[in-house]
Chain A
Amino acid sequence: MEKDLVQQERLLRSRGEKGVLYEVVDTLRDGQHQKILAQVTKLLKCIALVKDQFSLEVEQTNLQKMLVGELTMLSVWLQETKTKKLRGYGTVDEELQHRLDPLLEEMSDQIGKTLKTLAGA
Chain B
Amino acid sequence: MDFGDSHRRSITNALRYTEETLGTVEAALMSQGRLNVLHRIEDDLTPAQKEKICDCIRAIRSIIASLKDTLSLEAHAIPLSRVIAGAASALWITLTETEPKRLTRYGPVPEEISTALGPDLERLIVQVHELQAIVAHR
Contact = CB atoms under 8 A, between A and B. Distances in A.
Interface of A: 1-8, 10-12, 15-17, 19-29, 32, 35-36, 39-40, 42-44, 46-51, 53-54, 56-64, 66-67, 70-71, 73-74, 77-78, 80-81, 86, 89-90, 92-93, 95-96, 99-100, 103, 106-107, 110-111, 113-114, 117-118, 120-121
Q: Top 9 closest A-B pairs, CB basis?
A: A81-B14, A27-B79, A89-B6, A19-B19, A62-B42, A114-B56, A39-B131, A117-B52, A110-B56
Contacts of A2: 36-39
A118 B45 CA distance: 8
A64 B45 contact: yes
Interface of B: 1, 3-4, 6-7, 10-12, 14-21, 23-25, 27-29, 33, 36-46, 49, 52-53, 56-57, 59-61, 63-68, 70-71, 73-81, 83-84, 87, 90-91, 94-95, 113, 116-117, 120, 123-124, 127-128, 130-131, 134-135, 137-138
A68 B113 CA distance: 37
Contact of B67 (A6, A80, A103): A103
B7 A89 contact: yes
A26 B77 CA distance: 10
A105 to B, nearest CB: 10
A22 B19 contact: yes
Contact of A74 (B7, B12, B21, B59): B21
